[in-house]
Amino acid sequence: MTDAPSSQNRRAIRTFGRVGGRALSSRQQELVERRLPELSVPEGLEDPASLFPGKREVWLEIGFGGGEHLAEQARRHLDVGLIGCEPFIEGMAKALTQIEEDGLANVRVLMDDARPLLEGLAPAGLSRVFILFPDPWPKKRQQKRRLIQPDFLASLHQACRPGARVRFATDVASYADEALWRFLQHGGFDWHAKEASDWRIAPPDHVTTRYETKKLGDCAPVWLDFITS
């Protein structure tokens, strides 16, 4: 008889695609070598507020792509600390370029899977979380790789304070349906949408990204905003 899969084994299923891309420019490579060690979230982090002394809240973006949304939210909210997770090195290099050029002191980054970070955080440390256009894994046999799974939502909910806001967006219809079902099945994420425009129109504070404008999915973007209870 074999043992049931452990949470560690389940976590080993990768939820994201490639982590490498085209060669970095010399400027990007220099930033990765110099700034990434300075800005990286330390291993074993428990209290995210410890990274941002004096900031009123800590927000998290999971899978920030090229960093446009992360950097712009940091510019708009200098009184907030933002953690961005992105395993793709080219995306990380682009984000570091924006952080450097704008002198943003309220951003820390993790070039890795966000799930171990969430699992290690003390309860109620996050006030806002963005999960924008994660890898959709549209084929049926791939869908076990989707990020929005029960174990992930349990870790996410624990890491968020009551009343925290969580935004999920996708342009793949099957993922939108599945994600909404999983969030509601968890029971700790309240969805207050009342009409179609609540999920069909981008929220007023959204920052459009290059990925979004490519329109690679099979539907218009779906926006799901939740409040944790």
Q: At 223, phi and psi to the nearest 5? A: -115, 120
Please report the beta strands in 100-191, taking only residues with DSSP state E, as ranges in sequence order. 107-110, 126-132, 160-170, 189-191
Q: Which stretches of the chain are assigned E, i.e. beta strand? A: 57-62, 80-85, 107-110, 126-132, 160-170, 189-191, 222-228
Question: Is 135 a residue of the active site?
Answer: yes
Catalytic pick among 3, 47, 79, 135: 135
Nearest to 141 by CA among 174, 112, 168, 170: 174
Report d(CA 39, CA 18) in Å as an integer. 22
| Residues recognised as catalytic | 135
